[in-house]
Amino acid sequence: MRTYSRIIGTGSYLPEKRLTNAELAAELAQQGVETSDDWIVERTGIRARHFAAENQGSSDMATEAARQALTAAGITPDDLDLIIVATSTPDMVFPSVATMVQHKLGTAGCPAFDVQAVCSGFIYALTVADAMIQSGSAKRALVIGAEVFSRILDFTDRTTCVLFGDGAGAVVLEASETTGILATDLHADGKYKDILCVPGHVNRGAILGDPVLKMDGPAVFKLAVGVLEETARACLLKANLTAADIDWLIPHQANIRIMQSTVKKLKMSADKLVVTVDQHGNTSAASIPLALDASVRSGKIKRGDTLMLEGVGGGFTWGAVLLNY
């Protein structure tokens, strides 16, 4: 009998501060940076984003999302035997956000670690958790995507600062004989590191290099539309399914045009696309679990639905997870 990793609870957290495009544009204008609601909506589909408070870190938001997911799953933190956090914006260089979340949840003992694959981070983390569950080394895993990209944005660069937001999303996975994750597919190609990166690092007490996000948007756009189709098809092939079997496509929420192009390339109907980028902006590793939780809570996604989750981001990294919810 095959062991599946089944999602038994989801949760999410968005910081209180919400900025519409018009509000962000007005703030940027004060610094001489010109943008507009029209440009942002037309080129990205983004209408608003949330920004964390000064004293809020990824671990705080991750813990809030985790609490919701644990409640939805009907289990306590002590029932967990694995915690993985996907993030590129940890509270500190080390220790990991995952160990901080573990402590904030009031538990100890189980393995806890971070996965860093930028916007593909949640797909990577889910795949690692699934492998550990299938191998028998974990039975109940908490998998979180949490980011404070507002801390690494250059608010004088209009080509990037209007795109990102903060937040966290979480799922609890449980080993089950009932169907759950059906197939996973991961990839990376380090030759693209310069098209999306934060090149700065800590060196002997100082920051060396630029500690803000740099992106060649058009280059990332072009790569993203290609790999998102490829990884979805590879995942479907592994599960012996076709795109017609997918009830909901939840791609990384970066740009509505990339998402619409993916749905079109997969010859799926546009109403199967889950969209939260309009309200959240690009929250990197948090975007997929945020979109998943919003759709579960709104009743859009129901038990038994087949979901294709897929991510793409810095590295370059990309991948997909196909599952029965």
Active-site residue numbers? 119, 252, 282
Q: How far apart are CA 199 and CA 205, in angstroms?
A: 16
Nearer Cβ to ligand UT7, position 155 or 221? 221
| Strand ranges in the chain using DSSP code E only, listed in sequence order | 4-13, 17-20, 48-51, 82-86, 112-115, 140-148, 166-176, 181-188, 196-197, 201-203, 206-208, 214-215, 248-251, 306-313, 317-324
Instruction: Give the count of residues interacting with ligand UT7 (CB under 6 A).
Output: 19
- State yes or no: residue 39 binds ligand UT7 (CB under 6 A): yes
Residues 105-164 that bind ligand UT7 (CB under 6 A): 119, 158-159, 162
Hey, is 143 helix, strand or coil?
strand
Cα–Cα dist 119/17, whole Å? 22
Site for ligand UT7 contains 176 (CB under 6 A): no
> Near ligand UT7 by CB under 6 A, which window of 35-43, 90-98, 99-107, 140-148?
35-43
Question: Prior bond to 316 cis, omega within 30?
Answer: yes
Contact present, 73 and 170 (Cβ < 8 Å): no
Q: Where are the beta strands (DSSP E) in 14-56?
A: 17-20, 48-51
Determine, following the binding rule CB under 6 A, whether residue 258 of this chain makes contact with ligand UT7.
yes
Confirm or reject binding of residue 220 to ligand UT7 (CB under 6 A).
yes
Identify which of residues 182 and 266 has a Cβ nearer to ligand UT7 in the complex: 266
Among 17, 18, 43, 297, binds ligand UT7 (CB under 6 A): 43
**DSSP 8-state symbol, 254:** S
Closest CB to ligand UT7 among 126 and 173?
126
Minimum separation from the CB atom of position 311 to ligand UT7 (A): 9
What is the binding site for ligand UT7 (CB under 6 A)? Answer: 35, 39, 43-44, 119, 158-159, 162, 217-218, 220-221, 224, 254-255, 258, 282, 312-313
